[in-house]
Structure 1
Amino acid sequence: MSCPLGKKALPQAMLLLLLSFQVLITPVTKANEETDKSVNFIPTVEFAVNTFNQKSQDEYAYRMEHIMSSWREEVDHPIVFSMRLRLRRTICKKFEESLDICPFQESHDRNNTFTCLFTVGTLPWITEFQLFKNVCS
């Protein structure tokens, strides 16, 4: 017994439609997670670098040259990020304005660059940070 073409195509079209929704939903969810992470992560990096500068005995400020790696720790409260950052000495003194655009010193001497592992907890809804770990070499 043969089926008219329209009746046979309807279940296949519905299947394609359902599969296309699955493909569309997955990236949006992942994008939201990445956006949430970056919204909370960027101020956490700024806090870590600022804390490094405050504790440093150097008269010059350091700023981030490169994020070598980063990850979110498996705890819910507070939100905890660990990050390995390369910091480099700038030509600006520690307490000058606009340190985020201050040029790096030209010399690539070992004393001008640090690789640091920071672990920072944050409660972003009240803009609170706590440094748990700071190891630099």
Structure 2
Amino acid sequence: MLWKVPLLMGLIVLGTHIWTIKKEFVDISKNLDYFVASVEFAVAQFNDDNAEENTYRLLEVGRAQKKTWTMIFLMDLDMGRTICKKHDEDIDNCPMQEGAEEKKVRCTFHVDARPWFSQFTLLYSTCQ
């Protein structure tokens, strides 16, 4: 009976350690396939949710992180307003607005990726 106490304590410590690790974000490559797909999803979601008529295009990826033991990505994206409207065909090659119409935003997104189901979920977003 006495030998069960150290075993129980060991399992509690191990479980706490694993639970703590699961909550940490770690830096990843910006070229990771699932991360790239999550970035594209975040930009498309931003454009869908944005009340403006014009689309925004990705300018730069700042922070690129993944939550340990999950497919939840954390990203900081710099985006700029283009001259294209929301439902134009090729917004990836659309010129940026210039002059008084120029506008840039920096957004932070958390995206839960389930690429094997072609499913992405926006968990959090904020823009400045």
TM (normalized to structure 1)? 0.68
RMSD: 2.0
Once the two structures are TM-superposed, the CA of residue 103 in structure 1 deviates from its matched residue by 1.1
97-106 vs 44-53, greater mean Cα deviation: 97-106
The residue that corresponds to 1:106 in the other structure is 98
AA partner of residue 94 (structure 1): K
> Are 1:38 and 2:29 matched, yes or no?
no
* SS of alignment partner, residue 47 of structure 1: helix
Q: Amino acid of the residue matched to residue 94 of structure 2?
A: C
Q: CA deviation at 1:108?
A: 7.1
Question: Structure 2: where are the runs of 5+ without partners?
Answer: 1-27
Q: Which stretches in structure 1 are left out of the alignment for 5+ residues?
A: 1-32
Say if 2:57 is the partner of 1:63. yes
Superposition pairs of residues 1-137 of structure 1, within 5 angstroms = 38-76=32-70, 79-107=71-99, 112-137=103-128
TM-score, normalisation: structure 2: 0.72
Matched residues in 2 for 1:45 and 1:134: separation? 12
SS of 2:99's equivalent in the other structure is: coil
Equivalent position amino acid for 1:116 in 2? C
Stretch of structure 1 that moved more, 91-100 or 67-76:
67-76
Larger radius of gyration: 1
Task: Summarize the Cα distance change of 1:127–1:92 in structure 2 as closer, same or farther, 3 Å threshold.
Answer: same
Q: Judging changes above 3 Å, is the alpha-carbon distance between structure 1 residues 71 and 34 closer, same or farther for their aligned structure 2 residues?
A: closer
Structure number having the greater helix percentage = 1
Counterpart of 1:101 in structure 2: which amino acid? N
Deviations 1:15-57 (A, max 9, x none): xxxxxxxxxxxxxxxxxx959x611111110100000000101
* Structure having greater relative contact order (Cα 8 Å, sep ≥ 6): 2
- Sequence identity (%): 34
Report deviation, 1:75. Answer: 3.6
